[in-house]
């Protein structure tokens, strides 16, 4: 059964808003998605009914504590983690990653090597680079092919050495849209005794994540990219989170995940994250029957959430096709990502384009005047932009639909882009 787009859109109040009298078209989803009612309800409930700090011996504090515990369980199911002690909440992916550089740095000695893919968002590059500088580590890059926009995992055999100790892996690029073969990379790294840290921020809204299947050591995501509130989440293997050092206050119990959740956590953020999981469960239960995973041992919630995400991913591939076909029809635009429909399993619907005489900022400004929201520039994916030689050309125009967008919305954007690139119009 295909996604019921009407039912989906009804869940998101922001989709009904207008911009100067025309419907808003949100194609800025790689930078942050809109939220469904379940998220708003959960956040409102937390802030109205039990806005208390956690851990107290009174009614509202107990409710807050239980909500936080449920948020950890919900995210454990989202990731198919072994248990909720493997789930650490934090401000956002970048802050959690900086914390993890401090946690891990002591394991490495001068001359050790770390490998980053060339597709990293800077949130999974600069923290490790800074750690490497401080510890005297060598930073190597796993490049992507700038014509296919994919990474050849076999190249790892040339790059990994006995000194390789750590690898940062991009699950899906926020510029190219490529989905990397994380499982194959983790297999090679694991065989070489290399710790792996996966940035799943862009993949999480577009596919089912199974950390046990991937075989990684750490994985990070941000709820605001998967229909939730501004909230970062880290998954780590329990044996690592129990034994690695933690920079914690004396009064905090020395057990995961609390030893890494410093200071007062965002109760409303965790409550809203439960709401995002509930939304995905709803999609799975009402529209995802054919996508329910059959793997034994999954919880009912994991099955429902993953079915929802897989139903969304199939719909996303239709959006990719429509958008890429339309951009190709306009002509003269270079699509910086996979365009072969047979390889759409290897991309999310984020599509970046360039044209030699086109200023992406001007085009984004023009689209905004018509209620179409897109990003331009590097979107912090600076390693990708530099690899493509686009840093002095204003980066890319990034069109980022997700499962609540329609092909009709894409047509509005495509018509405007065509008018602009053919010089029929200019921003006011």
Ligand X SMILES: Cc1ncc(COP(=O)(O)O)c(C=O)c1O
* 403: nearest Cα among 273, 225, 238, 278: 225
Query: Minimal distance in Å, beta carbon 192 to ligand X?
Result: 25
Query: Minimal distance in Å, beta carbon 396 to ligand X?
Result: 14
- Dihedral Cα 398, 226, 403, 176, nearest 10 deg: 30
Tell whether residue 101 is a contact of ligand X (CB under 6 A).
no
Stretch of residues binding ligand X (CB under 6 A), selected from 37-45, 62-70, 198-206, 290-298 = 198-206
Stretch of residues binding ligand X (CB under 6 A), selected from 46-54, 92-100, 144-152, 183-191 = 92-100
Question: What is the number of other CB atoms lying within 10 angstroms of the CB of residue 166?
Answer: 24
* 355: nearest Cα among 290, 415, 420, 406: 420
Beta carbon nearer to ligand X, 301 or 398? 398
Contacts by 241-245, CB closer than 8 A, 24 or more apart: 241/85, 241/86, 241/88, 242/85, 244/103, 244/104, 245/103, 245/106
Choose which of 77, 84, 199, 268 interacts with ligand X (CB under 6 A). 199
Tell whether residue 160 is a contact of ligand X (CB under 6 A).
no
Tell whether residue 124 is a contact of ligand X (CB under 6 A).
yes
Tell whether residue 202 is a contact of ligand X (CB under 6 A).
yes
Question: Given its phi and psi angles, is residue 380 left (phi above 0), alpha (psi -120 to 50 degrees) or beta?
Answer: left
Tell whether residue 121 is a contact of ligand X (CB under 6 A).
yes
Choose which of 46, 201, 283, 388 interacts with ligand X (CB under 6 A). 201
Paired sense of beta strands 334-335 and 18-19, if any = unpaired
Tell whether residue 222 is a contact of ligand X (CB under 6 A).
yes
Tell whether residue 273 is a contact of ligand X (CB under 6 A).
no
Tell whether residue 236 is a contact of ligand X (CB under 6 A).
no
Beta carbon nearer to ligand X, 31 or 292? 31
Beta carbon nearer to ligand X, 94 or 101? 94
Q: Distance between CA 373 and CA 331 in Å, rounded?
A: 22
Tell whether residue 28 is a contact of ligand X (CB under 6 A).
no
Q: Distance between CA 320 and CA 324 in Å, rounded?
A: 6
Query: Minimal distance in Å, beta carbon 410 to ligand X?
Result: 21
Choose which of 29, 34, 67, 92 interacts with ligand X (CB under 6 A). 92
Give whole-number Cα distances, 366 to 200, 354, 360, 377, 419, in Å.
31, 16, 10, 15, 10
Binding site for ligand X (CB under 6 A): 31, 92-94, 121, 123-124, 174, 199, 201-202, 222, 232, 380
């Amino acid at each position: 059964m295909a996604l019921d787009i009407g039912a989906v859109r009804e869940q998101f109040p922001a989709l009904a808003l207008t911009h100067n009298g025309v419907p808003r078209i949100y194609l800025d989803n790689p930078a942050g998605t809109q939220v469904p009612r379940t998220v708003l309800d959960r956040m409102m409930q937390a802030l109205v009914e039990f806005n208390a700090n956690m851990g107290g011996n009174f009614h509202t504090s107990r409710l807050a504590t239980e909500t936080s515990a449920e948020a950890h369980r919900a995210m454990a199911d989202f990731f198919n983690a072994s248990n909720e002690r493997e789930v650490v909440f934090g401000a956002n992916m970048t802050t959690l990653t900086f914390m993890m550089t401090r946690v891990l740095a002591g394991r490495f000695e001068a001359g050790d090597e770390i490998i980053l893919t060339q597709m990293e968002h800077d949130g999974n590059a600069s923290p490790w680079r800074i750690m490497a500088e401080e510890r005297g580590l060598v930073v190597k890059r796993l490049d992507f092919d700038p014509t296919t926009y994919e990474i050849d995992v076999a190249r790892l055999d040339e790059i990994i050495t006995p000194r390789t100790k750590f690898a940062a892996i991009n699950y899906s690029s926020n510029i190219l849209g490529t989905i990397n073969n994380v499982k194959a990379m983790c297999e090679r790294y694991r065989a070489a005794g290399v710790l792996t840290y996966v940035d799943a921020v862009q993949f999480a809204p577009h596919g089912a994540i199974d950390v046990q299947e991937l075989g990684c050591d750490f994985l990070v995501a941000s709820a605001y990219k998967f229909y939730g509130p501004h909230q970062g989440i880290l998954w780590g293997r329990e044996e690592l989170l129990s034994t690695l050092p933690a920079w914690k206050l004396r009064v905090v119990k020395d057990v995961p995940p609390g030893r890494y959740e410093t200071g007062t956590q965002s109760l409303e953020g965790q409550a809203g994250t439960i709401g995002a999981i509930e939304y995905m469960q709803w999609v799975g239960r009402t529209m995802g029957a054919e996508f329910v995973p059959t793997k034994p041992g999954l919880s009912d919630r994991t099955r429902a959430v993953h079915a929802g995400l897989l139903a969304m991913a199939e719909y996303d591939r239709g959006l990719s096709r429509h958008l890429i076909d339309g951009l190709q029809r306009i002509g003269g635009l270079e699509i910086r990502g996979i365009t072969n429909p047979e390889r759409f399993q290897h991309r999310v619907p984020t599509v970046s384009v360039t044209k030699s005489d086109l200023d992406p900022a001007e085009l984004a400004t023009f689209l905004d005047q018509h209620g179409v929201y897109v990003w331009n520039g590097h979107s912090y994916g600076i390693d990708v932009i530099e690899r493509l030689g686009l840093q002095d050309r204003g980066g890319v125009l990034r069109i980022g639909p997700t499962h609540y967008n329609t092909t009709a919305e894409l047509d509005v954007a495509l018509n405007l882009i065509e008018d602009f690139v053919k010089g029929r119009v200019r921003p006011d």
